[in-house]
């Protein structure tokens, strides 16, 4: 598949994927910004804002589970590259540094999530 077919452009506020949807793709931000957010009763809580070179959607591409949050373009002309499951597996098998990068990001995101959950549950 030509790389151009894997690139999508979004305007501010456009949804890239919704929480609960299925998907076997990881996304890399090429330009712009993407908010990863939870939507509840019309309210948006931004978990993190990602920029150029950062990625999202890694949990679904790894385990096939539904999306745990909503991804929303947060800057004009936000461009993302989609990496499907087959390409992800190929990259991991051929580029150990890529696999380590994904594991590092997952670890940092889990630590941040644990810290946030502890703060909200604390005394």
According to the model, what pLDDT value does residue 120 have?
A: 61
According to the model, what pLDDT value does residue 117 have?
A: 77
According to the model, what pLDDT value does residue 11 have?
A: 98
- Do the Cβ atoms of 36 and 50 come closer than 8 Å? yes
Three-class secondary structure assignment of 22-47 = CCCEEEEEEECCEEEEEEECCEEEEE
According to the model, what pLDDT value does residue 115 have?
A: 84
Separation of alpha carbons 43 and 30, rounded Å: 27
Hey, what are 73's tokens?
């373009």
According to the model, what pLDDT value does residue 121 have?
A: 56
**Which residues of the chain carry a pLDDT beneath 70?**
1-4, 120-123
Q: Any bridge partners for residue 35, and if so which?
A: 49, 72
- 51: nearest Cα among 39, 35, 40: 35
According to the model, what pLDDT value does residue 6 have?
A: 92
- pTM for the whole thing? 0.85
CATH code, residues 3-121: 2.60.120.10
- CB crowding 20-52: b at 16 or more within 10 Å, else e: eeebbbbbbbeebbbbbbeeeeeeeeebeebee
According to the model, what pLDDT value does residue 7 have?
A: 95
């Amino acid at each position: 598949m030509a790389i151009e077919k894997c690139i999508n452009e979004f305007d501010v506020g456009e949804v890239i994927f919704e929480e609960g949807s299925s998907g076997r793709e990881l996304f890399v931000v090429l330009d712009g910004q993407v908010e990863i957010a939870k939507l509840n009763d019309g309210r948006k809580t931004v978990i993190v804002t990602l920029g150029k070179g950062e990625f999202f959607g890694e949990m679904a591409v790894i385990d096939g589970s539904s999306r745990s949050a909503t991804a929303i373009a947060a800057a004009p002309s936000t461009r993302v590259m989609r990496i499907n499951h087959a390409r992800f597996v190929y990259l991991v098998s051929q580029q150990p540094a890529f696999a380590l990068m994904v594991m590092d990001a997952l670890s940092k995101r889990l630590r941040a999530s644990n810290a946030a959950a502890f703060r909200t549950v604390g005394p």
